[in-house]
Amino acid sequence: MSERQKKIRNFCIIAHIDHGKSTLADRLIEKTQTVSSRELQDQLLDSMDLERERGITIKLTPVRMYYEYNGEEYELNLIDTPGHVDFTFEVSRSLRACEGAVLVVDAAQGVEAQTLANVYLAIDNNLEILPVINKIDLPSARPEEVRREIEDVVGIDASDSPLVSAKEGLNIEEILKQIVEKVPAPNGDENAPLKCLIFDSYYDNYKGAVCLVRVIDGEVKAGTKIKMMASGKTYDCVEVGIFNPKPTPVMSLKAGNVGYIAASIKAIAETAPGDTVTDANNPTATACDGYKEVQPVVYSGVFPVDGSKYNDLKDALERLKLSDAALFYEPEVSAALGFGFRCGFLGLLHMEIIQERLEREYNLDLITTAPSVTYKVHKTNGEIVTVTNPCNLPPTTETLYIEEPVVAAEIFTPPTYIGSIMELCQDKRGVFEDMQYLDSNRVKMKYQMPLSEIVFDFFDGLKSRSRGYASLDYELSGYSKSDMVKLDILLNGEICDALSLIIHREKAQSRGRTLAEKLKEVIPRQLFEIPIQAAIGGKVIARETVKAMRKDVLAKCYGGDVTRKKKLLEKQKEGKKRMRQFGSVEIPSEAFMSILKLDDN
Amino acid sequence: MKRKLGVYIHIPFCNGKCAYCDFTSGVYSDEIKQAYFKSLISEIMNFDFSEYVVDTVYFGGGTPSSVSASYITEIFYALKAQVELDINCEFSIECNPESVTEEKLYTYKKIGINRISLGLQTTNNEILKSIGRLHDLKDFISAIDLTNKYFDNVSADLMLGLPLQNASDVTNAIKLLAEKSVKHVSAYGLKVEEGTSLAKSGFTPDEDFTSYLYDLTVNELAKLGYTRYEVSNFAMPGYECKHNKRYWNRSEYVGFGVSAHSFVKYARIENTSDLSEYIKGKTVAQKYFILSNSPEAKVEMIMLALRTSDGLDLTEFYENFGIDLIKDKSSTISALSDFLIVDNTKLKLSNKGYYVMNEIILRLID
Q: What is the value of ipTM here, to two decimals?
A: 0.85
The residue with greater pLDDT, A579 or A103, is A103
Query: Which residue is closest to B218 within chain A, CA to CA?
Result: A553
**What radius of gyration, in Å, describes the C-alpha atoms of chain A?**
27
Identity of the residue in B23, B255, B361 whose CB atom sits nearest the CB atom of A560:
B255
Q: What percent of chain A has pLDDT over 70?
A: 89
pLDDT score, position A54: 43
Q: Which range among A30-34, A367-371, A396-400 shows the weakest confidence by mean pLDDT?
A: A30-34
Asked if residue A243 lies in contact with residue A211, where contact means CB atoms within 8 angstroms, the answer is no
Nearest to A527 among B160, B161, B356 (CB): B356
Non-local (6+) Cβ contacts of A293 within 8 A are A272
State residue A121's pLDDT score. 76
Q: How far apart are CA A526 and CA A585, in angstroms?
A: 8
Round to whole Å and give the CA distance between B12 and B9: 10
**What phi and psi, each to the nearest 5 degrees, are found at residue A511?**
-65, -40
Contact residues, chain B, for A555 at CB < 8 Å: 188-191
Contact A288, A96 (CB under 8 A): yes
Facing residue for B356 by CB, picked from A549, A556, A560: A549
- Confidence at B204, pLDDT banded by 50, 70, 90: confident
- Interhelix angle A88-95/A113-124, nearest 10 degrees: 40
What pLDDT shows up at residue A598? 65
How many CB pairs below 8 A link A and B?
101
Q: Would you call A552 and B10 a contact, using CB atoms and an 8 Å cutoff?
A: no
Distance of CA B295 to the CA centre of its chain: 26
Q: What sign results for the dihedral spanned by CA atoms B296, B301, B302, B304? A: positive
Do the chains contact at B260 and A559, CB–CB below 8 Å?
A: yes
Model confidence pLDDT, tens digit, residues B259-281: 999 999 999 999 999 999 999 99
- Whether residue A597 is predicted with pLDDT greater than 50 in this model: the reply is yes
- Domain locations along chain A: 3-182, 195-279, 298-368, 375-482, 485-594
Nearest CB neighbour to A560, from listed B8, B214, B362: B8
For residues A102 and A115, the answer to whether their CB atoms sit within 8 Å is: no
**B339·A551 Cβ contact <8 A:** no
Residue B238 has pLDDT above 80, yes or no: yes
Alpha-carbon torsion (B309, B312, B313, B316), positive or negative: positive
Domain spanning A3-182: CATH superfamily: P-loop containing nucleotide triphosphate hydrolases (3.40.50.300)
According to CATH, what is the number of the domain A375-482?
Answer: 3.30.70.240
Residue A406 has pLDDT above 90, yes or no: yes
Distance from the Cα of A583 to chain B's closest Cα (Å) equals 13
Where does residue B31 rank: exposed (0-12), middle (13-18), buried (19+ CB within 10 A)?
Answer: exposed
- Any bridge partners for residue B315, and if so which? none
B181/chain A closest Cα distance in angstroms: 23
CA-CA-CA-CA dihedral for A465, A470, A475, A476, to nearest 10? -10
Q: Which residues of B touch A565 (CB under 8 A)?
A: 303-304
Round to whole Å and give the CA distance between B252 and B75.
20
Residue of A nearest to B248 (CA): A560
Q: Do A569 and B303 touch (CB under 8 A)?
A: yes
Select from B206, B261, B272 the residue whose CB has the most chain A CBs within 10 Å, as the one to mutate to test that interface: B261
Contact B69/B115 with Cβ under 8 angstroms? no
Asked whether A342 and A314 are in contact (CB, 8 A), the reply is no
pLDDT, mean of residues A173-180: 93
Interchain proximity A554–B357, CB inside 8 Å: yes
Interface contact flag, B60 A559, Cβ < 8 Å: yes
Using CA coordinates, name the residue in chain B closest to A563: B268
CB A220 within 8 A of CB A236: no
Q: Which of A:494-533 have CB within 8 Å of B?
A: 525-527
Residues of A in contact with B232 (CB under 8 A): 553-554, 556
Residues B70-123: tens digit of each pLDDT: 999 999 999 999 999 999 999 999 999 999 999 999 999 999 999 999 999 999
pLDDT tens, position by position, A354-382? 888 898 888 898 998 988 999 999 999 99
Q: Which residues of B touch A558 (CB under 8 A)?
A: 23, 60
More confident residue, A15 or B250: B250
Evaluate whether A26 touches A45 at the Cβ level (below 8 Å): yes
Task: List chain A residues with CB under 8 Å of B190.
Answer: 555
Contact A569 B253 (CB under 8 A): no
Question: Is the Cβ pair A555, B191 closer than 8 Å?
Answer: yes
Q: Which of A243-252, A411-420, B171-180 has the highest mean pLDDT?
A: B171-180
Give, in degrees to the nearest 5, the angle at Cα A298 between A295 and A304: 115
- Rounded to whole angstroms, the Cα distance separating B83 from B329 reads 44
- C-alpha Rg value of chain B to the nearest Å: 21
CATH (residue range A298-368): 3.30.70.870
Residues A104, A21: contact at Cβ < 8 Å? yes
Q: B233-235 and A239-243: which strand pairing?
A: unpaired
Coil, strand or helix: which one is A264? strand
**Closest residue of chain A to B161, computed from CA coordinates:** A553
Instruction: Please give the CATH number for the structural domain made up of A485-594.
Output: 3.30.70.2570
If one looks up domain A195-279 in CATH, what number appears? 2.40.30.10
Instruction: Determine which of A492, A525, A550, A561 to mutate to test the interface with B (most B C-beta atoms within 10 Å).
Output: A550
Of A548, A562, A572, the CB nearest to B358: A572
Task: Delineate the domains of chain B, giving CATH numbers in brackets.
Answer: 3-248 (3.20.20.70), 295-365 (1.10.10.920)
A195-279 against A298-368: fold identical: no
